[in-house]
Structure 1
Amino acid sequence: MTWQQIAAEKKSRQLDSVPKEWLSSDLPSAEALNVIDFPQESNVLSALDLEITESSVAGLLSNLALSKWSAVQVTTSFYKRAIVAQQLVKIFVDRALARAKTLDEHLKTTGQVVGALHGLPISLKDQISIKGIESTIGTIATIVPMFFSKMCSGYVSLVGQFAEKDSVLVDILESLGAIPFVKTNVPQTLMWPETFNHVFGRTTNPYNRSLTSGGSSGGEGALIALKGSPLGVGSDIGGSIRIPSAFCGVYGFRPSYNRIPYAGCVNSLEGEDSVLSVLGPLSNTLDGIKTFYKAVLSKEPWLKDPMVIRKRWSDEDYNLIDHGNGKKLCFAIMWDNGGSCTPPSLIDWVPHNSAEMTKTIGAIWNAGAAEDFEKATAPSGEPVIASMGLLQEDEAPLFRPSSAGISAFELWQLHKKKRDLRQEYLKHWEDTVSQTGTGRPVDAIISPIAPHTAGPHGSMKIGSYTMWLNLVDYPSMVIPVSQVDPALDVKQPREEFYSTEDQENHELYNPATYENAPISIQVIGRGGEEEAVIAMSEIVDEALRVAKSKL
């Protein structure tokens, strides 16, 4: 079979697995760009379905534990919303509902929940393996994917390859009582800040379908935004959790290396262990992020994945013991990272060597990426995607590989450069003690996630606001703020620019094009400070809520 036939067969098989009564026959027109409210308006979801799927993670877990809602009911409601929202989802209904029924029976007979995530449906980025389910590194297309006519996957060569066992994270989530219920779309190769592939096509932004959902966890970002899942798991090697979280207006968390178990997942660039990909949660509420992180650590994942650091959840860190116990915190604001932000601008951290860090991390990836992509696509014959643009122009982010690789010695020099850059940044942060007035260095940085909000498909090529954090290994939390209002977020005239890239970014901005695009920030801490970043993010989030209530 050709790769096109394999992709078509896979998509047909997927459609056949969806209960037809969960599909909406009245889809938004192609001209309708903002479809964030489509699930509520679809007439597929009952009042109870809507109540359940609009609930926070904390509310869901409470009602499940009290038996107000059964795990079967909650899982079914989120299935229905996910399928209405996406119209095509890699689902495993029988497996998930059978597990939900078992959880309900356990609670009824024992009066006890199985664990901290009892009965909670959780969506997973496609690369997270579930026994008996394919991980094609490309699965679902979000909400009528622009009616894109091409049969457009991660890797077609992975279609038909079923996981022989669960990934470590899936084992842990199930031991906590969670119910993995869908897997979500990614770009071919994973290494792209947008989401498009040859099997299930393009994941668009539910706030404005002419804009990207980001990537590579774009399926998760869009599904969470549409409330088709209460809690999802993505991965991040250069911004792949944070970019889709920001572009889709949800919370997302990139932890430090080796805190959340990665063992058993399918991945690109396997063996590249200088800049590690990490797994992390996405949710519509901060309580979902904290609940996930604390629950997973409670299962001592270092006993199941040898790469995981032996570090339990720390209440001391969460209570900000190293940050003045949360009193008189000093946040530094990064206005830009060597390239001005298009309106709406964010709120002074002085960036240090960010261009060199972005260049170094890109060079590390590119050392063997071209060969990796070629070997992955060779079995099926599918082409390596060169652009995320609608017309497939040759537009690529700066870190796409352009050569076959470099020598081992040259790679060692990049690793040395990475080490030196991390050392420099540590000193740069420590030196802020002279500026804060607290007797401590800056507690956290508040920064943009990109120099723009979600943009037109094919335009997301700048990763300098996220990639540097993957090099220095700092945890970061995305917090949604508002949405683009063309009347307020007008284009500001400029005559001077940092660079040609900066000028191109400025010229790309048109308020009408970006209408309704979510606006987000990220809160950044230092390596290993996950609990503190969660706590400081709660403080920032509450401050934003108070400020908005006064407008």
Structure 2
Amino acid sequence: MPTSSWQEQVADKRRRLQESLPKEWLITPPPDDQLNRMDVPETCGLLTPRELEITNKADVAVVLQKLASAEWSSVEVTTAFCKRAVIAHQLTNCLAEVLFDRALRRATELDGYLAKHGSVIGPLHGLPVSLKDQFPIAGLETTMGYAAWIGKVATEDAALVQLLDDSGAVLYVRTNVPQTLMWGETHNNVFGRTVHPLNINHTPGGSSGGESALIAQHGSLLGVGSDIGGSIRVPSHFCGIFGFKPSSYRLPSYGIVNSLEGQEIIPTSIGPLSTSLTGIKLFMQAILSKEPWRKDPNTIRASWDANAYALKDRGDGQKLCFGILSSDGIMTPQPPVQRALEETKQALLRAGHAFIDWKPLKHAELVANARSIWLSDGGADYKEALVTGEHLINSMDPEADPMDVPVFRRPRDPLSAFQLWKLSKERSDLRKEYLDYWESTAAMTGTGRPVDALICPVAPYPAVRHGQTRSSFYTIPWNTLNYPSLVIPVTRVNPSIDTKPTRSEFLSADDEAVYNMYDPEHCSGFPIGLQIVGQAYQEEAVLAVGEIVMAALRTQ
């Protein structure tokens, strides 16, 4: 690190980011009282009709087909998304790095290859793909929101970056994250706060909040995030897009920068976010087809399983039985989340599927176990990254006193190795107990099988105001269990039907806070998503079930 202060380093980094945005792509910012900015990319006049056609296409499979047929060139598609990403950034502060020159050189190479050979270079040929600011690219900084990491230039690409290049993807932006990553919102001292495009007073979630804000504005159709406690799923739910957390080690994480590096009891999972379910599926197929275990020693040797995706062991998907988790017993979902669950259930019943009620078996214990493991270092990981004197952000509330440290952010005493081993044993016992419960449902489903998947909330609320997220009780259990989870958009808040009920008794202090913060008029139009959860390493089955659920919802 140079001898200048961390504030000077941050100012220089922000200046460099701003100067990397083409001046001809800058717009007049909307007034502060224009809270909803979703329509600005289409109405600002910067994008041509052709660029609007390209960037408004939500289905990744369609875009890839047009690229493969040369109906659209990679150069024009890349240019369109670079421009729209710059617009999105000016509206929501979602970017941390732009790679436009590199991206356009790559797009030119791909167009030349297609013209010469008449075939694509890989399954993602010509498609712009965005990256969370955790994936190093040789020759570039990856700050991950830490001032101390400004100036640290990567000497090689992360494993996933290499595989995306091999697949023909065009990497063009990296997106903002919260300091430490361990937040359900997105704000750091380097780049500042990312806001929700539907209402800038609300958060797009975290820690993949830059990705979700960018994709919600169609500044990207497909991006890559990470998830240790909900960091792909909460932003996807908040922003109305698709997001997928595979089981850990199904996709390669080698070479990424991260918090809690070396903690592998409940590790980070790498996964995609997209405007379409086809984007999620094609991303998984593309990376798995490149044998990622040859790049990352921790990645399991498991190719795409076509039989699992065809649901061959689940009656070919003709009559499924779902477990439905309507409440975790800690925080009651707000009315629009409850409605999303009921509408999904009714749609699937009409499609010939069945349900059983799912008991939230020891969800509080699953969350407590994960948090104890993540905090077992006594805060040493964060301190190591704050060596420049940069302060630790203790609240996502813009009005919070920076010196006030809430209880949940106070460091715990570090644990001994033996104490950590006991937590690991506790995690294994919880996993076995949950597995036994899942398997026992074979006696209740009517199919002769245990439930084929679970359907549950992602969070008990839609996107909240900055600083109002609660603990991720609906997502962390699946990390502790290492279960894959797909988020699908289901509906939007409708104040006329999602009215606030009268309640006088509450499950917990968090439950009361969730009830009190609900204002149907204020969050009108915000997206509501749900999770589809399967057992460990059943990624293909979860994605196939997701398609069945989406088909049922579309026909209601």
Three-state SS of the structure 2 residue aligned to 1:387 is coil
Q: How does 1:93-172 map to 2 (within 5 A)?
A: 93-137=100-144, 154-172=145-163
Counting only pairs closer than 5 Å after superposition, residues 515-534 of structure 1 correspond to structure 2 as 515-534=524-543
1:417 and 2:426 matched: yes
**Identical aligned residues as a percent:** 49
Matches within 5 A, 1:365-444: 365-368=374-377, 370-378=379-387, 380-393=388-401, 400-444=409-453
- State whether residues 450 and 462 of structure 1, in contact with CA within 8 Å, keep that contact through their aligned partners in structure 2: no
Q: What does residue range 327-338 of structure 1 map to in structure 2 within 5 Å?
A: 327-338=318-329
1:271 maps to amino acid: G
The reply to whether residue 350 of structure 1 matches residue 359 of structure 2 is yes
Kindly tell me: are residues 369 and 188 of structure 1, through their superposed partners in 2, closer, same or farther at Cα, counting changes over 3 Å?
Answer: farther
State the secondary structure of the residue aligned to 1:431: helix
Partner of 2:332: 340
SS of 1:480's equivalent in the other structure is: strand
**Are residues 1:504 and 2:496 paired?**
no
Query: C-alpha displacement at 1:298, in angstroms?
Result: 0.3
Q: Is the 8 A contact 1:6 1:159 kept in 2?
A: yes
User: How many Å separate the matches in 2 of 1:399 and 1:447?
Assistant: 25
- 1:255/1:530 contact within 8 Å kept: yes
Deviations 1:487-536 (A, max 9, x none): 22111111221112211211111123322221110101110100000000
Cα displacement string for residues 101-157 of structure 1 (whole angstroms, at most 9, x for unaligned residues): 0111111111111000000000000001111111110xxxxxxxxxxxxxxxx1000
Conserved in 1, the CA contact under 8 Å of 2:378 and 2:415?
no
1:397 Cα deviation (Å)?
8.6
What one-letter code is carried by the residue in structure 2 that aligns with 1:504? A
The aligned counterpart of 2:214 is 223
- Residues 220-266 of structure 1 show CA distances to partners (whole Å, capped at 9, x for unaligned) of 01101000011000000000000000001100000011111101100
Name 1:150's counterpart in structure 2: none
CA contact (8 A) 1:357 1:421 kept: yes
Which letter maps to 1:310? R
Return the alpha-carbon distance in structure 1 between the equivalents of residues 523 and 442 of structure 2.
39
**Stretches of structure 2 lacking an aligned partner (at least 5 in a row):** 343-356
1:50 matched to which residue of 2? 52
**Does the CA-based 8 Å contact 2:394-2:406 persist in structure 1?**
no
Q: Which amino acid aligns with 1:186?
A: V
Shift of 1:160: 1.1
Matched, 1:84 2:87: yes
Contact 1:366 1:401 in 2 (8 A): no
| Partner of residue 537, structure 1 | 546
| Distance in 2 separating the partners of 1:162 and 1:476 | 34
After the TM superposition, which residues 205-224 of structure 1 pair with which residues of structure 2 at under 5 Å, given as runs? 205-224=196-215
What's the CA shift for 1:401?
A: 5.0
1:404 deviation in Å? 4.2
Distance 1:182 1:353 in 2: 40
Aligned counterparts of 2:149 and 2:413: Cα–Cα separation in 1 = 23
Change (3 A) 1:397 1:91: farther
State whether residues 137 and 157 of structure 2, in contact with CA within 8 Å, keep that contact through their aligned partners in structure 1. Answer: yes
164, 173, 176: which is aligned to 1:173? Answer: 164
Structure 1 residues 399, 411: CA separation in 2 closer, same or farther (over 3 Å shift)?
A: farther
Q: Map 1:242-321 to 2 at 5 A.
A: 242-321=233-312
**Structure 2 match to 1:240:** 231
Alpha-carbon contact 2:251-2:299 (below 8 Å) kept: yes
Q: For residues 405 and 205 of structure 2, what CA distance do their matches in structure 1 show?
A: 14
Contact 2:233 2:458 in 1 (8 A): yes
Q: What is the one-letter code of the residue matched to 1:112?
A: S
Q: Which runs of 5+ in 1 are unaligned?
A: 138-153
1: CA distance between counterparts of 2:381 and 2:68?
A: 46
Distance 2:405 2:466 in 1: 11
State the TM-score, normalizing by the size of structure 1: 0.94
Question: Judging changes above 3 Å, is the alpha-carbon distance between structure 1 residues 197 and 173 closer, same or farther for their aligned structure 2 residues?
Answer: same
Q: In 2, are the aligned partners of 1:371 and 1:404 still within 8 Å (CA)?
A: no
Residues of 2 paired with 1:476 and 1:384: CA distance?
A: 31
Q: Hey, what does 2:34 align to over in structure 1?
A: 32
CA shift in 2, pair 1:211/1:448, >3 Å: same
Provide the alpha-carbon RMSD of the alignment: 1.3
After superposition, what is the alpha-carbon deviation per residue over 1:78-119, rounded to whole angstroms, capped at 9, x for unaligned? 000000111263101111110110111111111111000000
SS at match of 1:413: helix
Is the contact between residue 363 and residue 399 of structure 1 (CA under 8 Å) also seen in structure 2? Answer: no
Match of 2:24 in 1: 21
Task: Classify the secondary structure of the residue corresponding to 2:243.
Answer: strand
Q: Calculate the TM-score normalised by the size of structure 2.
A: 0.93
One-letter code aligned to 2:103:
A
CA deviation profile, 1:338-389 (whole Å, cap 9, x unmatched)? 12111212332111000011011000000016111011011x2100000000
Amino acid at match of 2:48: S
The verdict on how the C-alpha distance between 1:469 and 1:398 changes in structure 2, with shifts beyond 3 A counting, is farther
Q: Per-residue deviation at 1:399?
A: 5.8
SS at 2:477 equivalent: helix
Per-residue deviation at 1:393? 4.4
Counterpart-to-counterpart distance in 2, 1:222 and 1:206: 7
Instruction: Name 2:346's counterpart in structure 1.
Output: none
Counterpart amino acid of 2:236?
A: S
Write the deviation string for residues 417-444 of structure 1: whole angstroms up to 9, x where unpaired: 1000000000111111111111111100
Shift in Å at residue 396 of structure 1? 7.8
